[in-house]
């Protein structure tokens, strides 16, 4: 029996081989290809199974946990010395299953010390990820750290500072599964003039503008992936932070207006009666209402009388950070935002007279309002009471409920920076990915949603008129000299970060939405990812798994080619023949995949009579082939066959995309 089976298999093999050989002999010679279908569609992309913390479907598992950091901070601004002095009460909750005998905190201001690691890696040509050659008394000055006991007693805590991190040695371990420790930290620092394009001081004719960020010792994240996340802050990577509530009291000269993350709790103490009336009008207005006009900036009556200092009290809840701005030069305007739930929220802009005008920050609040309303309706509702833009030295930087933008921005550039920085509300403020490791999960995702909000704004007022010519962009985003997207930001050439953190991931999601899944399936899956990971800490695997499960599609070939590797796409239309050499009986079309990436195929076929039709072929044609031959039901001669006629796929070689009669 076995011998007969083997003989049968051998006969079948010889028969198939003979038929295949005969078919191959009828085809044109196949060109040399770099495509390896087993590599592209090969062994499973995921190397780990789902766990009780992170499920196989890309959602948080039944035992997912994350720790919490709540802050009460009182800070005072000394404008003459550019110094911020603060006292921070930190309540840290350990929800992990491990006891913690020590804690790690971030001290990002130490980046600007002349002996920091970040300073050491700045090239002679400079870097936007540091300062601008300023030599000053930089870094945090930690005055004291106290452990606050259950009855309020304070005990000194031993600590050690290492570059941009600080380790705290607790006298007693914080218990697992909900243990709490309360600390008081007194500190100060001098603000850099230009701080890594994330904060700084802008001089204007009516006073300094302070954009203040990374302004308090912040908890490092302790998670189920890496334990303590203590990668030093050297500039290129951004932040990874725990969620919590923030209670902020900021004392500044009375001539200043202060804006910050969250809700202002004492407006009657810091604004004039007339300004309070204007705020009330703005809360109910679809159009921008000016709270403090350009003419009032130099009018002492536009500030409360009889005070040398004022304390501004803000609260923001369930946020991963908080920041603020202060200046005597601020014009302030605002309007209400219409959110899906009907929740009350406002768009606010603060800017100097140098930024005023109908083509500049006079439209800033309009831009913020429309951007946030679009993304709230499309993806997930804006979670904060206010969305405030501060114009200053920073080109563009995002924080919960507040963003810093360049004061010279105008027209499309102002729309773009406002839209982008507030797009970060969704990534990473709501979906709290690790920016220090995976910058593309916030910058790239945000750049992608910006394309949709920009297309929507005023029926495309600032939409890219050139469109997305993927053939033109393919040579840029898949250049073999580039690192893969799945690289740490600090491990990329600085000149490549714009492509690899912003542009290429955004293009990948656009292709996934428009060419692979379709808008309906993509939007459902993307919303599902945002919803499941809102105010949590996803990894790339969580994103990839979540999209696959919600869309019902195995996308490992796509993740592998576009994100894990820097592969290229080159599909050629090789040949057209006719069945029995008779055009009316149908055509036989052959295409080749010449590079390592696979994508679905779009072909435009034009016959000699002028008839034009489109066909699409699924990506699975490349699952076990580098060449694909198929029948097309033509009834006349074919004039031309064009691959990717609309240039929506990243093909690097348009020269072989067209076969002509």
Beta strands 158-162; 402-406: pairing state: unpaired
Do the domains 570-660 and 64-204+214-242 match in fold? yes
Structure tokens at 91: 């309540």
Q: What is the pLDDT of residues 151-171, one digit of tens each?
A: 889 999 999 999 999 999 999
Which pLDDT tens digit goes with each residue over 577-591?
A: 999 999 999 999 999
**What is the signed CA dihedral for 228, 234, 237, 242, rounded to 10 degrees?**
40
Per-residue pLDDT at 465: 75
Q: Which helix (H) or strand (E) holds 590?
A: strand 587-593
Nearest to 510 by CA among 480, 460, 469: 469
Is the per-residue pLDDT at 24 higher than 90?
no
Say how many C-beta atoms besides its own lie within 10 A of residue 570's C-beta. 24
pLDDT at 132: 85
Of the candidates 635, 634, 660, 657, which has an alpha carbon nearest to the alpha carbon of residue 647? Answer: 657
Q: CA 204, CA 329: separation in Å to the nearest integer?
A: 7
Q: Give the span between the Cα atoms of 661 and 634, in whole angstroms.
A: 14
Total number of residues shown for the chain: 661
Mean pLDDT over 546-570 rounds to 98
Residue 28: the pLDDT is 62
Tokens of 116: 């920091």
Sign (positive/negative) of CA torsion 122, 496, 406, 447?
negative
Query: What are the residues facing 179 on neighbouring strands?
Result: 94
Average pLDDT over residues 269-291: 98
pLDDT score recorded for residue 133: 82
- Check: CB of residue 368 under 8 Å from CB of residue 401: no
Q: Measured between alpha carbons, how far is 345 from 57 in angstroms, rounded to an integer? A: 34
Asked if residue 523 has pLDDT above 90, the reply is: yes
Radius of gyration of the chain (CA): 29
Q: 169 phi and psi, to 5 degrees? A: -100, 105
Compute φ and ψ for 357, nearest 5 degrees. Answer: 135, 155
| Contact criterion met (CB below 8 Å) for 157 and 274 | no
Helix/strand/coil for 13: helix
Report residue 18 CA to chain centroid gap: 55
pLDDT band for position 22 (50/70/90)?
very low
317 pLDDT higher than 70? yes
Predicted confidence at residue 102, as pLDDT, reads 98
Nearest to 332 by CA among 369, 288, 368: 288
**Residue 428 preceded by cis peptide, ω within 30:** yes
How many C-beta atoms lie closer than 10 Å to residue 89's C-beta? 16
Question: What average pLDDT is seen over the chain?
Answer: 94
- Out of 42-56, 216-230, 270-284, 458-472, pick the least confident: 458-472
The two tokens of residue 139 are 């870094």
Query: Does 74 or 123 have the greater pLDDT score?
Result: 74
At 503 the three-state DSSP class reads helix
CATH number of 570-660: 2.60.40.10
Percentage, residues of the chain above pLDDT 90: 91
Which residues make Cβ contacts (< 8 Å) with residue 476, sequence separation at least 6? 499, 503
**What would the mean pLDDT of 532-548 be, rounded to a whole number?**
98
In the chain, where the domains are located: 64-204+214-242, 570-660
Encoding tokens for residue 331?
A: 């014009």
How many angstroms separate the first and last alpha carbons of the chain?
55
E strands, 175-278, are 179-190, 194-195, 199-204, 207-212, 218-219, 222-223, 227-228, 244-253, 257-260, 263-264
- For tokens 């960020």, what's the residue? 213
The pLDDT score that the predictor gives to residue 21 is: 40
**What predicted TM-score, i.e. pTM, was given to this entire model?**
0.94
What's the pLDDT score for residue 267? 98
The bridge status of strand 402-406 relative to strand 386-392 is parallel
**What's the whole-number mean pLDDT along residues 235-262?**
97
Q: Does residue 346 carry a pLDDT above 60?
A: yes
How far apart, in whole angstroms, are the C-alpha atoms of residue 319 and residue 55? 25
What does the pLDDT look like over 356-406, one tens digit per residue? Answer: 998 999 999 999 999 999 999 999 999 999 999 999 999 999 999 999 999
pLDDT of residue 9: 34
Task: Output the CA torsion 363→365→370→375 (10° steps).
Answer: 140
- Among candidate residues 560, 518, 516, the one with its CA nearest the CA of residue 649: 516
| Structure-token pair, residue 229 | 């996340």
Q: What is the pLDDT of residue 6?
A: 35
Banded pLDDT at 485 (limits 50, 70, 90): very high
When pLDDT is cut at 50, 70 and 90, the band that residue 27 belongs to is low
Looking at the predicted structure, is the pLDDT value of residue 238 above 60?
A: yes
pLDDT digits (tens, 9 = 90+) for 105-126: 999 999 999 999 999 999 988 8
**pLDDT(440) > 90:** yes
64-204+214-242: which CATH number, 2.60.40, 1.10.3470, 3.40.50, 1.10.357?
2.60.40
Q: What does the pLDDT read at residue 8?
A: 40
């Amino acid at each position: 029996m076995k011998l007969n089976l083997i003989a049968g298999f051998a006969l079948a093999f010889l028969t198939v081989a003979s038929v295949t050989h005969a078919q191959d002999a009828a085809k044109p010679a196949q060109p040399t290809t770099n495509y390896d279908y087993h590599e592209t569609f090969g062994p499973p992309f995921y190397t780990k199974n789902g766990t009780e913390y992170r499920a196989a479907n890309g959602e948080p598992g039944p035992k997912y946990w994350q720790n919490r950091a709540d802050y009460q901070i009182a800070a005072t601004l000394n404008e003459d010395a550019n110094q911020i002095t603060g006292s921070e009460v930190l309540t840290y909750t350990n929800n992990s299953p491990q006891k913690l005998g020590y804690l790690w905190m971030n001290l990002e201001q130490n980046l600007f010390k002349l002996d920091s690691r970040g300073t050491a890696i700045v090239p002679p040509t400079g870097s936007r990820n540091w300062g601008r050659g300023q030599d000053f008394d930089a870094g945090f000055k930690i005055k004291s750290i106290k452990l606050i006991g259950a009855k309020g007693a304070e005990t000194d805590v031993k600590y050690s500072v290492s570059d941009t991190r600080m380790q705290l040695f607790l006298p007693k371990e914080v218990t697992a599964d909900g243990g709490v420790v309360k600390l008081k930290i007194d500190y100060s620092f001098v603000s850099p003039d230009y701080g890594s394009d994330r904060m700084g001081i802008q001089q204007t004719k009516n006073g300094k503008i302070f954009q203040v960020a990374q302004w308090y010792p912040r908890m490092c994240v302790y998670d189920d992936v890496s334990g303590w996340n203590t990668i030093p802050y050297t500039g290129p990577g951004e932040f990874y932070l725990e969620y919590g509530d923030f209670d902020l009291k900021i004392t500044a000269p009375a001539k200043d207006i202060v804006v910050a993350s969250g809700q202002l709790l004492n407006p009657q103490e810091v604004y004039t009666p007339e300004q309070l009336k204007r705020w009330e009008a703005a809360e109910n207005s679809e159009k921008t209402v000016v709270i403090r006009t350009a003419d009032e900036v130099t009018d002492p009556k536009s500030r409360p009388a009889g005070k040398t200092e004022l304390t501004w009290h803000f609260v923001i809840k369930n946020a991963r950070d908080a920041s603020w701005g202060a200046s005597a030069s601020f014009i302030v305007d605002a309007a209400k935002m219409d959110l899906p739930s009907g929740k009350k929220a406002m768009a606010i802009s603060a800017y100097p007279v140098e930024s005023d005008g109908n083509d500049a920050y006079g439209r800033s609040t309009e831009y913020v309002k429309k951007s946030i309303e679009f993304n709230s309706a499309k993806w997930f509702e804006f979670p904060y009471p206010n969305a405030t833009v501060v114009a200053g030295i920073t080109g563009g930087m995002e924080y919960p409920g507040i963003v810093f933008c360049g004061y010279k921005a105008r027209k499309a550039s102002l729309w773009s920076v406002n839209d982008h920085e507030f797009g970060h509300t969704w990534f990473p403020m709501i979906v709290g990915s690790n920016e220090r490791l995976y910058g593309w999960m916030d910058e790239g995702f945000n750049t992608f949603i910006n394309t949709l909000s920009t297309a929507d704004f005023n029926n495309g007022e600032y939409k890219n008129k050139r469109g997305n010519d993927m053939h033109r962009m393919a040579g840029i985003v898949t250049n073999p000299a580039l690192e893969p997207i799945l690289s740490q930001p600090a491990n990329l050439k600085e000149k490549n970060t714009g492509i690899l953190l912003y542009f290429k991931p955004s293009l990948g999601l656009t292709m996934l939405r428009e060419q692979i899944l379709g808008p309906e399936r993509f939007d459902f899956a993307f919303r599902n990812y945002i919803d499941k990971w809102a105010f949590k800490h996803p990894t790339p695997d969580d994103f990839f798994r979540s999209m696959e499960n919600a869309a019902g599609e195995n996308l490992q070939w796509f993740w592998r080619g576009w994100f894990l590797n820097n592969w290229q796409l080159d599909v050629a239309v090789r040949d057209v023949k006719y069945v029995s050499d008779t055009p009316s009986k149908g055509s036989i079309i052959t295409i080749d995949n010449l590079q390592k990436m696979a994508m679905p195929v779009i072909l435009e076929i034009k016959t000699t009579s002028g008839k034009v039709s489109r066909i699409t072929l699924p990506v699975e044609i490349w699952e076990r082939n580098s060449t694909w031959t198929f029948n097309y039901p033509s009834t006349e001669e074919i004039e031309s066959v064009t691959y990717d006629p609309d240039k929506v796929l990243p093909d690097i070689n348009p020269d072989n995309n067209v076969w002509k009669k």
